[in-house]
Structures are given as C-alpha cells and as structure tokens.
C-alpha cells in the first residue's frame, strides 16, 4: 500500500508518538487534536478504522498522567467510538491499553488507547497465517472520513 512507502521512521531513540504531532495531520494520519491528546489511525491496523488516542506528553502509563490527560483520553475514546459507529457501523468495539511490553505494547514507553471496530466474523486469519493483515480501505481515505466525523461532533 502507498502509505507504507511514505512512512518516515523517527530517529533511533526518538518516540514515534512524540514525533507524529510534528507532522501535518494528513501525513501522520492524525484524525483529531485535543488539548492534551490526539487521535491517530494505526498504520498497521487490526481492522479498518483502528484508532489510537495518544497523549501529547510522553507518559508510560496512566498513573504517570495528569488527571486532565486521563480525562481527555477517555473523552476522545468516546468520540472515537461515536465516529466509528456513525461512519463504519461496526458490530462492536474493543477499547484498551497495553501497559508494558509483556502486556503487548508495541511502543511500551508512550501509553495509548486502542479503539478497534469489530464485525462478526472478522477473524483476521491472515495474521495467523502470514503475519499480515488486509483492510478494505486505504488509510488516507479512512483518515478523511473519520476526521470529518470528529469535526461534526
């Protein structure tokens, strides 16, 4: 997919989630910017519309966040839920944080909330079979659709 060829990796030792807000929203796939956190598409989504709510500040876990950062993460998670329901009509959603590498965090030192739309039968068998996932829509298209939903909320 074209979004992979344009993926700019942060410099060694730099945090991806700290560097994304420095890029234009379209390039970084940022859907919405709040006061203390932003909503971004996962470049390697589990399903179409897989969003993450990420604090601007580099925080490893919830206990390291200020109360207003935790509140906004939950508020933006709720907005993401609404936007996904309105735009994609999933049958369900998974919302969750993976705190620490042993809990499954790919970027363990910058906490983020996953918001994953789910449909009956979306087993993602290709992940098991070949380590890859397929989604039916290019990420820039998904970003435009969801950014419009956030703007209208």
- Catalytic residue among 50, 91, 110, 112, which? 112
Cite the DSSP H helix spans in the chain.
Answer: 2-5, 16-19, 25-28, 67-88, 125-130, 139-152
d(CA 28, CA 52): 12
Residue 33: which H helix or E strand, with range? strand 30-33
Is residue 110 annotated as a catalytic residue, yes or no? no
**Rounded (5°) CA angle 151-48-146:** 5
Question: Which of these, 55, 56, 85, 95, lies nearest to 149 by C-alpha position?
Answer: 85
Q: Are the beta carbons of 32 and 84 closer than 8 angstroms?
A: no
List active site positions. Answer: 112
């Amino acid at each position: 997919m074209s979004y992979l060829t344009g993926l700019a990796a942060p410099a060694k030792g730099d945090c991806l989630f700290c560097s994304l807000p420095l890029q234009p929203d379209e390039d970084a796939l940022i859907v919405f910017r709040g006061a203390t956190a932003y909503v971004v598409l996962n470049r390697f989504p589990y399903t179409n519309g897989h969003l993450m709510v990420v604090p601007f500040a580099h925080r490893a876990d919830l206990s390291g966040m200020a109360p207003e950062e935790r509140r906004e993460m939950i508020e933006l998670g709720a907005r993401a839920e609404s936007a996904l329901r309105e735009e994609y009509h999933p049958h369900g959603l998974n919302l969750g944080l993976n705190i620490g590498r042993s809990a499954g965090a790919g970027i363990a030192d910058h906490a983020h909330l996953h918001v994953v739309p789910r449909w009956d039968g979306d087993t993602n068998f290709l992940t098991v079979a070949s380590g890859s996932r397929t989604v039916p829509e290019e990420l820039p298209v998904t970003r435009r659709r969801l950014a419009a939903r956030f703007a209208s909320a």
